[in-house]
Amino acid sequence: MPKVSVKVKWGKEMYPDVEVNTDDEPVLFKAQIFALTGVQPERQKVVCKGVTLRDDTWGNFKLTNNALVLVMGSKEEDVPAAPVEQTRFVEDMNESELATAMDLPEGLINLGNTCYMNATVQCLKTVPELKNALLTYDKSSGGGSAGELTSALSETVAALERGGAGACAGAAARLLGALHAAAPRLAERGPGGALAQQDASECWAEIVRALQQRLPAPPGLAEQGSSIIEQYFGGTLDVELVCSEADEPPTRSKENFLQLSCFISQDVKYLQSGLRSKMVEHITKMSETLGRDAVYTKTSKISRLPAYLTVQFVRFYYKEKEAINAKILKDVKFPLELDVYELCSPELQERLTPMRNKFKEIEDASVESALSSKNKNSGDSKKVGKKRALPYWFENAGFPDVGSNNSGFYRLQAVLTHRGRSSSSGHYVAWVARGGAWLRCDDDHVTPVSEEEVLKLSGGGDWHCAYLLLYGPKILEVPENEEQAGDPAASMA
């Protein structure tokens, strides 16, 4: 039987009835030990009957029921205490002390080249609707490998919310096992037997695919059978194909997307231009008129904007000679606030206009108020009262499109970066917005950063380059006493 119950002894501490699944990788058992003892996996020496456990294989490390497993290693914080407590300044604190002082969220320990998974989880967790759906997910609902992956992600998000390095390490270990079961290619190992680095974009797509199958949208808020992913991350394109070599009538269709791509060419210096260039492509396909392959112009316009817009910088390309996915390091600027109005179809642009006008009206009023307050002789400056947030989705009569974006305005809330020269090497990090501030989530090290540091992630060198961007809806707040009947969110269907 692959599952056994063992006794783990660390120093003077004894932990009985520790369940181990020997079908899992040894690193997952080390993560369990970390959850119990607080000793990081890389600092552990695990011995049973004179045999030391390796990270990549169980080998001769045979476990039986009630076997005694000895763990040697100390916590990083096990240092002699200072005789007198001294005042600590923020500038003098290490990352652990800073996290405690500033109430920073928990990170996820690297289980051996698992930074790609950790960064993906931290970015997706910034979507409140997705986080809430995961926290209430029925883990007993089955669903095969997709269900196991969703259940493990639910457990990981819950552990991150509760805090506690041990609980997060155990949950991350189970998530890694579920991810490997759902996508065996992500379980590949390097020449030395250790887990190989993986592409964060592939991990993101695999997790989103599982959630798409297992997280249904709330009834009454979306089309029957749709998922949270389709509701909040899914957009629609109106596509037109025109033959460049023959007089054929154009063909029109619709395509769904869960992310947009920004291709990086010599001319692309900004995210907006990279997105715009992708909307007009030249493709080759069979022409029934000519009876051969012909060049077609494919023009795409967005007809449904999702609340949360994922953008991938296409930074990697395959180099046959080296057999690696080489990286394009070019600097491509991205904004903290993104406007995608020009990428939308005329029909959608018309529907976006009322909320966009409302944004302008509120912003103009804010500027007027600021100018008025500077005038010392002005006694008519308005007192700022309570505000309420207007819905960011279309409130269509009878059937609201909850999870859409009704303005075309977005605000950046997460960046997944890569540092290195290949997608199968280097290091991935998540940079996430929380409560008006930004945090860098580098595995289990979480530190505050400035907006300026985030904007420097645009590339151009060997520092971290933005690989995936996650934009959320820009929220418009109005005075609480403003008549709700005037809300432009209730635009025409």
Length of the chain: 493
CA-wise closest residue to 164 among 431, 439, 444: 444
| Annotated active-site residue in 48, 115, 262, 441 | 115
Q: Both tokens of residue 86?
A: 């001294």
- Rounded CA separation 56/72 (Å): 19
Amino acid identity at 117: M
Separation between Cα atoms, residue 419 and residue 464, nearest integer Å: 4
User: Residue 76, Cα to own-chain centre: how many angstroms?
Assistant: 29
pTM of the model as a whole: 0.81
Q: Which tens digits make up the pLDDT trace of 42-74?
A: 889 999 888 889 887 888 888 989 899 999 888
pLDDT given at position 222: 59
For residue 327, which of 260, 419, 415, 259 has the smallest C-alpha distance?
419
> Could you confirm whether 427 is annotated as catalytic?
yes
pLDDT of residue 115: 96
Q: Given 123, 203, 418, 427, which residue is catalytic?
A: 427
**Catalytic annotation present for 464:** no
Q: What pLDDT shows up at residue 19?
A: 84
- pLDDT value, residue 403: 94
Q: Which residues of the chain have pLDDT under 50?
A: 78-84, 87, 90-91, 381, 485-493
Q: What is the DSSP letter of 344?
A: B
Q: Where are the domains of the chain?
A: 1-73
The third-level CATH classification (topology) of the domain covering 1-73 is: Ubiquitin-like (UB roll) (3.10.20)
pLDDT at 493: 44
Give the integer Cα–Cα distance in Å for 292 and 286.
5
Reported as a single tens digit per residue, the pLDDT across 151-189 is 999 999 999 999 877 788 889 999 999 999 999 999 998
Q: 328 is written with which tokens?
A: 């394009």
- Nearest Cα neighbor of 311 from 413, 207, 185, 171 is 413
Tokens for 212?
Answer: 């798409």
